[in-house]
Amino acid sequence: MSLVKLTVKGISYSQTQNGAYALILNEVDGERKLPIVIGAFEAQSIAIALEKEIKPPRPLTHDLFKSFADRFDIVVKQVIIHKLVDGVFYSSIICERDKIEEIIDARTSDAIALALRFSAPIFTYKNILDKSGIYLKNPNEFDNQNPDDEGVLTTPETFGLDNEGKASTDIYKSMSLSELHESLEKAVQNEDYEKAAKIRDEISKRES
C-alpha cells in the first residue's frame, strides 16, 4: 500500500464532542483533509509545538520525551497512521538508535505531537485517506493567516468558546499591544496555554 504524506493544518474545537478537539491533517500533494478527534491536553501540546513563541516554563510530557530521546541518541524518523478501526486511528512511531530501527505503537495524537518536536514527516496509507479524507466546504477555514504561517494555529476558535457562547478572544481586542505581550508572558508562566494561544492570535493580527 502506498503512503501519503500529511502536514498539520490546524486544530478546531470539536462541535460533536464536548471537551474534544479536531486535529486537521492536510494531504501534501492533494486537497483532502484528515480530521482526527483528540483530547484537550494533546491539542495544547500540538499547538505549543507549532506556536514557536510560546515556551512553557516547565517541559510538557512530549517535551520530556524529546529531551529523553535526545539524551540517549534516539531519533524519531517518521510517524505512520497505519490503521482505522471503528473511527479510531492507530499510529506507529518509527525510531532509530545506533542505526537500529524500532517501531513503537502510539496514540495518533501523541505520535503527531512527537513528530512535530522531531521535525519528522507524518504519513498515512492511501486507503485510509480514501476512506476518511474529506474536502472542506470552506477551503479558507484555516487559511486566514499569512502564507508564511502555514500550519500555525492562530484561529480564534482554536480553543473554543466561553460559557456565554461568545469568542473568549473578544476581551483582548480592547487591550494595547504592550498589554497583550505582558498578558502572554503571564499566561505562559502560569501554564495557561489556552489563554496564551488566544493572546498570541490577537498579537499576530496586530503585527501582521
And the C-alpha cell for 73?
Answer: 541518541
For range 120-148, the mean pLDDT: 72
* Most confidently predicted of 16-25, 81-90, 128-137, 198-207: 81-90
pLDDT at 145: 40
Residue 159 has pLDDT above 60, yes or no: no
Per-residue pLDDT at 182: 83
* pLDDT tens string 32-73: 999 898 988 898 899 889 887 677 888 889 999 999 999 999
Average pLDDT over residues 64-93: 95
pLDDT band per the 50, 70, 90 thresholds, residue 139: very low
Query: Of 166, 160, 164, 149, whose CA–CA distance to 205 is shortest?
Result: 149
Does pLDDT of 143 surpass 80? Answer: no
Which of 46-55, 122-131, 157-166, 187-196 shows the lowest per-residue confidence on average (mean pLDDT)? 157-166
Separation between Cα atoms, residue 151 and residue 149, nearest integer Å: 6
Element (H, E) at 47: helix 40-50
Percent of the chain with pLDDT over 90: 40
pTM, entire model: 0.68
Burial class (CB in 10 A: 0-12, 13-18, 19+), 117: buried
pLDDT surpassing 70 at residue 144: no
Give the helix, strand, coil percentages of the chain, each rounded to 5.
40, 30, 30
Q: Which of the four pLDDT bands, split at 50, 70 and 90, describes residue 137? A: low
Give the lowest-confidence range in 86-90, 153-157, 164-168, 186-190: 153-157
